[in-house]
Amino acid sequence: MTLFLASVVNEAEAKLAVAGGADLIDFKDPAKGALGALDARAVRQGVKAVAGRRRTSAVAGDPGMGPSRLTEAVAAIAAMGLDYVKIALPSDAQHAARIAALARLARTTKLVGVIFADEQVDPSLVDELAGAGFAGAMLDTARKDAGRLLDHRDPAWLSSFLARGQGKGLIAGLAGSLEPPDVPRLLPLSPDLLGFRGAL
C-alpha cells in the first residue's frame, strides 16, 4: 500500500494534515530549499500536536552539510521522538562520506536518504544506503522552479529505482512538486510513499 506523506512547517499545518488523512507528517522548511531543516522548536511542537496519531519525520541538516555537522544534526533531530529522520544527499564529492558517517546512527534511528532526481543519480547509491543500515530512500527534486519529478525521470526509470530500493529492504518513496494528476501515474509503480507539499 502506498502511504501519503504531507510536508508541513508548523503545529497548525500538522493538525490539518492529520485531519486530512495523511499517513506520515513530515516537518521541513521549504523557505530554505527542497530539504531545508525546520527550527527545532517548531519540530517539537509539531510532534507534540501529532501526539502519536500518525508517523512523523523531519529533515535534519541542510543539503551540502559536511559529515561531522550532519551527524550532529541528525542526532539532535532523532532525539525528538520522530519515527524517521530524512537526510538530503546531493550529488557531490561528499555523499559517500555522509552515508558512512551516519551508519552508526542508522543502528538506532530510522534514516531516510533523499536523492535529487534533477541531479546526476548513480543508482548504486541505493545500495550504499542499504549497506549503511538506512531505513529508506526517497527521490525528490532540488530545484522546485525546474519542473516536477516526472519532468526529470520517466516512469520506467522511477520503477527501476523503487524496485532496487524495495529489493534491498528499503522504504522507497517519491516526491518532487507532485500534483494530483501525478497520483494515478505513479501509483502503478507501487511506491511505499508519495510526498506532497505545494499541491496541498
Residues with a known catalytic role: 28, 86
- Where do we find the cell 542508522? 106
- Rounded to a whole number of angstroms, the CA Rg of the chain reads 15
